[in-house]
Amino acid sequence: MVLEKIKQLPLQEFDKFLFWLIRLHPFHTDFGKPTMRADGFVLIFKLMYFCRLELSSILELKLQNFDLQNKLIRISNDKYQKSIIFHEKLFSTFNSYLKHIDNNKKFFPVSQSTVRKYAKDAISFAGMNKTIQEIKKLPQKNTKLNEILTNIKNLNTMIDKQYSLLCKIAVYVTKLYQDGEINKDTFNKFDEFLKSYYDNPYDGKD
């Protein structure tokens, strides 16, 4: 229940939770040493919060599930197959953690019980027990809807960035034409090519 409520925290409160999660890490030990790197735990909770993944699914992930080229997390098991948009907030943490993992071991070598206890301890140290208690658990029927809405929001962010990049390219091509570095025919071809993207920003291009 605590993990579900963490997903519903406002972003500022979630950042506060992560701050205390990191500070607590050196003291959260198993047999005298931390069970996993701090950025590994942070990545787990970011996958919960930004990608709306369940803890059980996260702990089953392997390196090959992350398709960074297409910014997707591909999940498959006996019950279903699905792709989750890899949220931009995960990249720095993922790259930091990736430098230190052992490919011969589990991607997240930690148990569910350890993650849950660590979360409760971090919430307590952050003084967020009351905040968590006041969050009402969402009805189970809304879980799928929340996942869909999160993916739509992430997709819109990616589209906005793509459109912004196209605008910069258009400005650059225009400047090249004005400076005489490309002729009018080349400029018109660029303009015609880019116009198709402006008119249909949601269409995929090969």
Average pLDDT, rounded, for the chain: 77
Provide mean pLDDT across the span 160-170. 69
Between strands 72-76 and 29-30, the pairing is: unpaired
**This prediction's pTM:** 0.62
Q: Per-residue pLDDT for 206 more than 60? A: no
More confident residue, 170 or 16: 16
106-136: pLDDT as tens digits: 889 888 988 888 888 888 888 887 777 777 6
In eight-state DSSP terms, residue 203 is S
Per-residue confidence band for 33, with pLDDT thresholds at 50, 70 and 90: low
Residue 133, CA distances (Å) to 17, 52, 104, 123, 137 in order: 14, 20, 40, 11, 10
More confident residue, 123 or 161: 123
Fold of 2-137: hpI Integrase; Chain A (1.10.443)
User: With the CA atoms of 184, 204, 72 and 4 taken in that order, what torsion angle do they form, in degrees rounded to the nearest 10?
Assistant: 120
Q: What is the pLDDT of residue 105?
A: 72
Q: Per-residue pLDDT for 159 more than 80? A: no
Percent of the chain at pLDDT exceeding 90: 4
Q: What is the pLDDT of residue 45?
A: 93
Per-residue confidence band for 44, with pLDDT thresholds at 50, 70 and 90: very high
More confident residue, 142 or 130: 130
The sign of the CA dihedral 151, 152, 155, 161 is negative
